[in-house]
Amino acid sequence: NVDLHHNKEPPMHRNLAQSLLPLVNQQDFNELFQSYIDSKINDIIREFEQGESEVQMWKAQGKLHMLRKIRDMQIEVKTAADRKYP
């Protein structure tokens, strides 16, 4: 569900991605980490829905963006590590 082409941030450098591969390839850790991030995303969605001001909702949107970026790190790392150019 990650559209890396729609991402406005610069792509991850290949060397960094390759150094992170051992982390994202550890299945037990990754599954638990994904569950943890998903629970945090659900908490922030509730925070967004209950926000009483635009500022609270903007902050919640920023938190959601970062949590989703962390959640999708495995895909980003593997894609960047497979690139043929830096």
Task: Return the H-helix or E-strand segment holding 41.
Answer: helix 27-50
How far is it, in rounded angstroms, from Cα 2 to Cα 5? 9
How far is it, in rounded angstroms, from Cα 48 to Cα 20? 31
Specify the DSSP class assigned to residue 5: T
Examine the pLDDT at 67 and tell me if it is beyond 90: yes
How far is it, in rounded angstroms, from Cα 49 to Cα 60? 9
pTM score: 0.70
Question: Residue 47 has what pLDDT?
Answer: 92
List pLDDT tens digits, range 12-57: 888 988 898 888 888 888 889 899 999 999 999 999 999 999 999 9
The answer to whether 24 and 74 have CB atoms below 8 angstroms apart is yes
Question: Residue 1 has what pLDDT?
Answer: 46
Examine the pLDDT at 5 and tell me if it is beyond 50: no
Examine the pLDDT at 65 and tell me if it is beyond 70: yes
